Amino acid sequence: MSAAPQSRATPWPAVPDDANALAANVWPDAADRDEHGVLRLGGIPATTLRERFGTPLYVLDEDEVRARARRTLAAFRTAAAAHDVQARVYYAGKAFLSTEVVHWVTDEGLAVDVCTGGELAVALAAGADPSRLGFHGNNKSVAELERAVAVGIGSIVIDSWIELERLAAIVERRDAQQAVLVRVNSGVHAETHDFLATAHEDQKFGFTLQDAAAAVARIRELDGLTFVGLHCHIGSQIFGTAGFRESAARVVELHAALLEGGDVPVLNLGGGFGIAYRPEDDPTPIEELATGIVEAVARECAVRGIPIPNLAFEPGRAIVGKAGVTLYEVGTTKPVEVDESFTRLYVSVDGGMSDNARPALYGAQYTARVASRTSDAEPALARVVGKHCESGDIVVDAEYLPGDVAPGDLLAVPATGAYCFSLASNYNYVPRPPVVALRGGEARVIVRGETVDDLLARDAGLTAPTEGNDMPVLSEGIETK
C-alpha cells in the first residue's frame, strides 16, 4: 500500500517548463487564467476576490464540491450495485464543516459523519436529518452522547468499553433505542507501507479484532442498543487500494464470525481516499478505489459463504480537498544564500500556519502560483512562508515561482479545501480568514472572517467574566469541553 509522499528525496521539485501553469490534478476544474494572465476561480478573477474579500482568503468552489460528492456517491453505489448491495456515503465533516457545506453534500445525497458535539451542532443547525448522521470519536462525553441519542442520531460508532457502558446507561435512562457500530482496529495503517507486517497497532482508536467480538456480544445483551455492523478506518491520504483490501479481508473475517450471533447488516470501511497536492501526485481515481474495495469485500464474503453486507464509506478530503484554494498577498521577498551554489527565495505571505497547519503538522507538500499575473521571468526556487514567529511556519516548502515575484502579488495555493479551515488557529492572534464559496460565477461569504474584536472577545480582562463560564453552551443541550 502506498501513502502519498509527505516529503521528497530532493529538497526541491523539478524546474517547470512554465512557472505559471496550472496543473489540472491539483487545481479546481474551473480554474484558468484570463486574457491578462490573472488566475480565475469559478470564472472570477482572483484580483476581484481580493478586492471584495481581502486576503488571506479561503475560496471553496461549491460546484466542484457538489460534483465530487455526486461522483463519489455514484462510484460507491455503482460498485455496490454490481454485487446487489447498497452503499451509503457519509461526508466526513472534520475535513471542512459549515452549515453551507452540509447543505451541499446532503443535497447531493450524502449522509454526514461528525465526531464531536460541536460538529453535531453544525450539522443540526444546517437542518441535516439526524437519522442520516453518524457519530464518531474516541472520547465522546456523556453530554455529547446524550445529545446524539436525544436528537435521534442515525448511528453511533462505539470506540471503547467505557463508552459502551456509558451509552448503555444513557439509553436505559432515556428508554431509547440506538443503532451502533463497533470500531475495530484492523492492524492496517496508512503510514505503513509494509502493512502485512503490522500485527497490532499502537494507537487510540477502536477495539482490537479480538476485543470487538466481545464488545458486540455485550451490545447484543443490551435492549437499548442495536448492533448494525463493524466500522474500520485505516488512515488518511491513502493512494491505491491495497491497504483497504487487506483491511477489508481482516474485518470481513470478524464480520462473518459475528453473523453466528445475529444480523450484521452494514460494514463501514471509513474514508482516507487520497488527493493530489502536487502535480506529481497520482492518487487512484475514486471509481477504481470503489470497485477495488467492494470487490475485495465481495471476494472475502464469497470465500466464507456469507452474504455481502450493505457498505458505508466516509470520505472527507476526497470531497472538499481539491475544491479549495487559499489566496494570500505577498508581503516581502528575501533571497537567502543557503550555500555557495544555492539561493532560496523566501516569499512571505499574509497568513501561514494559522490557516494551514498541515505543512507544520505533517510535512505536507503544496504547490503555489502567482495569481495576479503571469510572468516570463526565470523561475526561482522559492519557499512560501507565513507571518508567524516560527521558522517552521511554511506554507509551500519548495516551488519554482517566477523570479520577479514581488510584494503586492497575489499568491494562490491549491488543494487547501480539506483540513485547513478545520485545523485553523489564532496563533499569534492572527484572525482566521473568511471562507468564500463560488457557484455559477458568483462569490459569497459562507463563513465570515474574524476581526480583532473577535480576538479580544474572550479576554476576561476586557469583558466581565460570567459565572460558570467554563462550559460554553453551543446550542441547546450541547456542551463542549
Please select the residue that binds ligand LLP; options are 117, 118, 270, 352, rule is CB under 6 A.
Answer: 270
Among residues 95 and 411, whose Cβ is nearest to ligand LLP? 95
Rounded to a whole number, what is the distance in angstroms from the first to the last CA of the chain? 37
> Which residues between 306 and 325 bind ligand LLP (CB under 6 A)?
314-318
Residue 439's SS3 state is strand
Nearest distance, CB of residue 50 and ligand LLP, angstroms? 26
CB of 254 to ligand LLP, least distance (A): 17
Stretch that binds ligand LLP, among 15-23, 172-180, 269-277, 464-472 (CB under 6 A): 269-277
Nearest to 398 by CA among 359, 448, 427, 371: 359
Nearest approach, Cβ of 33 to ligand LLP (angstroms)?
29
Note whether 273 binds ligand LLP by CB under 6 A. Answer: yes
Cα 280 vs. chain centroid, distance in angstroms?
21
Binder to ligand LLP among 20, 178, 237, 348 (CB under 6 A)?
A: 237
**Residues in 47-66 that interact with ligand LLP by CB under 6 A:** none
* 419 binding ligand LLP? (CB under 6 A): yes
Contacts with ligand LLP by CB under 6 A: the residue count is 21
266-to-31, 224, 433 alpha-carbon distances in Å = 39, 19, 40
CA distance 126 to 191: 35
Task: Please state, in angstroms and rounded to a whole number, the distance separating the CA atoms of residues 38 and 117.
Answer: 42
- The reply to whether 19 sits near ligand LLP by the rule CB under 6 A is no
Q: Residue 282 CB, nearest distance to ligand LLP (Å)?
A: 17
Write down the least CB distance from residue 273 to ligand LLP, Å. 6
Task: Considering the candidates 115, 232, 389, 420, report the single residue annotated as catalytic.
Answer: 389
State the nearest-atom distance from the C-beta of 175 to ligand LLP, in Å.
29
Please, which of residues 61-100 interact with ligand LLP by CB under 6 A?
92, 94-95
The residues in 132-151 that bind ligand LLP, with binding defined as CB under 6 A, are: 136
Amino acid at 319: I
Interacting residue with ligand LLP among 178, 186, 236, 284 (CB under 6 A): 236
With cell 461569504, the residue in question is 445
CA pair distance 71, 319, nearest whole angstrom: 9
Strand partners, 368: none
Mark whether 389 is an active-site residue.
yes
Angle at 285 between CA 89 and CA 105, to 5 degrees: 30
CA dihedral 408, 409, 410, 414 (to 10 degrees): -140
Residues whose CB falls within 8 Å of the CB of residue 444, separated by 6 or more in sequence, listed in order: 436, 437
∠ CA 377-378-380, rounded to 5°: 115
**Site membership for ligand LLP, residue 278 (CB under 6 A):** no
* Residues with a known catalytic role: 389
Judged by the rule CB under 6 A, the positions of this chain that interact with ligand LLP are 92, 94-95, 113, 136, 233, 236-237, 270-273, 314-318, 358, 362, 418-419
